[in-house]
Amino acid sequence: MSQRPIIALDFPSKAEVEAFLDNFPKEESLFVKIGMELFYQEGPEIVRWLKGLGHSVFLDLKLHDIPNTVEKSMIGLAKLGVDITNVHAAGGVKMMEAAKAGLKKGTKAGAKVPILIAVTQLTSTSEKEMQEDQLIEVPLKDSVLHYAKCTEKAGLDGVVCSALEAQDIHQATSETFVCLTPGIRPSGSEVGDQQRVVTPIAAKKIGSTYIVVGRPITQAENPYEAYQSIKNEWNGAR
Ligand code: C5P
């Protein structure tokens, strides 16, 4: 089966998501990302609704709290039937283990436990900011690789990272470690505020497991055409 790029539904309301989804054939099963913007407005119902329409959901809430709170929250997210969700690796190995335990507890018997990944350093954080604000004195790349190793140790499935980091992360962990990568732009498109962008075909070659694409699809004149073209490129058809 061909792989679907994950569409970032960066919209402020369900009404806008509905208008966007009207661009796609009803029977097309999509993989979508719900972030904080949409989730904090529409609540868990937005996940149930999208799952009910037959879509797969990456719930991008980046949990970071004490292990007990994260575990209890993850029980609830698993009950919603999310396919992928995430935490901040900075919460520590114990917090990540608790997150995984929560997902297992909340998953119905016989169902697949959601894929759990961690954010290492946010891509908006510069090396200087990391060193000054977090008092982490190593280079940014070392911190990213360290967090990736902690994530693996905690039994999680992988990390959110730049496609440009995927190779090093796979070397530091394993080939099957999930690298879910935003910052994707089809060749010749608007870069927007993303600094280091990679095309879908390059991301595939470097080792991305999943790609997340927002504006090149959501802001396209013809979102379905843009989606298909990115999907084809991602699957090596171009
Ligand atoms: O519109 P665009 O393709 O840039 O959207 C990418 C999506 O991935 C957005 O939802 C953005 O918040 C998210 N993201 C990112 N970089 C990260 C983590 C998440 O761009 N490091």
pLDDT for res 56:
98
Please state, for a pLDDT cut of 70, what percent of the chain lies above it: 97
What is the overall mean pLDDT for the chain?
A: 95
Dump pLDDT digits (tens) for 94-117.
Answer: 999 999 999 999 999 999 999 999
Averaged pLDDT for residues 75-92: 98
CA dihedral 237, 117, 40, 133 (to 10 degrees): -110
Q: How far is the CA of 212 from the centre of ligand 1 (A)?
A: 7
- State yes or no: pLDDT of 191 exceeds 90: no
Dump pLDDT digits (tens) for 27-44.
Answer: 999 999 999 999 999 999
Count the alpha carbons within 13 Å of 226 in the hemisphere toward its beta carbon: 22
The CATH homologous superfamily of the domain defined by 6-118+181-234:
Aldolase class I (3.20.20.70)
Is residue 19 packed enough to be buried (19+ CB in 10 Å), middle (13-18) or exposed (0-12)? Answer: exposed
pLDDT for res 35:
98
Q: How far is the CA of 56 from the centre of ligand 1 (A)?
A: 18
Name the residue with higher pLDDT: 138 or 188: 138
Dump pLDDT digits (tens) for 196-227.
Answer: 789 999 999 999 999 999 999 999 999 999 99
Select from 119, 212, 230 the residue to mutate for testing ligand 1; criterion: most ligand atoms less than 8 Å from CB.
Answer: 212
- State yes or no: pLDDT of 169 exceeds 70: yes
Determine if ligand 1 sits within 6 Å of the CB of residue 10: yes
Domain ranges within the chain, ordered by starting residue:
6-118+181-234
Are 212 and 181 in contact by the 8 Å Cβ rule? The answer is: yes
- State yes or no: pLDDT of 85 exceeds 80: yes
Closest CA to 14 of 45, 54, 59: 45
Q: How far is the CA of 110 from the centre of ligand 1 (A)?
A: 32
Please state, for a pLDDT cut of 90, what percent of the chain lies above it: 92
Backbone angles phi, psi at 119, to 5 degrees: -85, 130
Determine if ligand 1 sits within 6 Å of the CB of residue 5: no
* 27 three-state secondary structure: coil
Determine if ligand 1 sits within 6 Å of the CB of residue 213: yes
pLDDT for res 14:
98
Determine if ligand 1 sits within 6 Å of the CB of residue 212: yes
Buried b (16+ CB within 10 A) or exposed e, 154-164: bebbbbbbbbb
126 vs 146: CA distance, rounded Å: 16
Q: What count of other Cβ atoms lies within 10 Å of the Cβ of residue 78?
A: 21
Q: Quick one: pLDDT band at residue 193, thresholds 50, 70, 90?
A: confident
Strands (DSSP E) contained in the chain are 6-8, 31-34, 56-63, 84-88, 115-119, 158-160, 178-181, 210-213
What pTM was computed for the model?
A: 0.96
- State yes or no: pLDDT of 238 exceeds 60: no
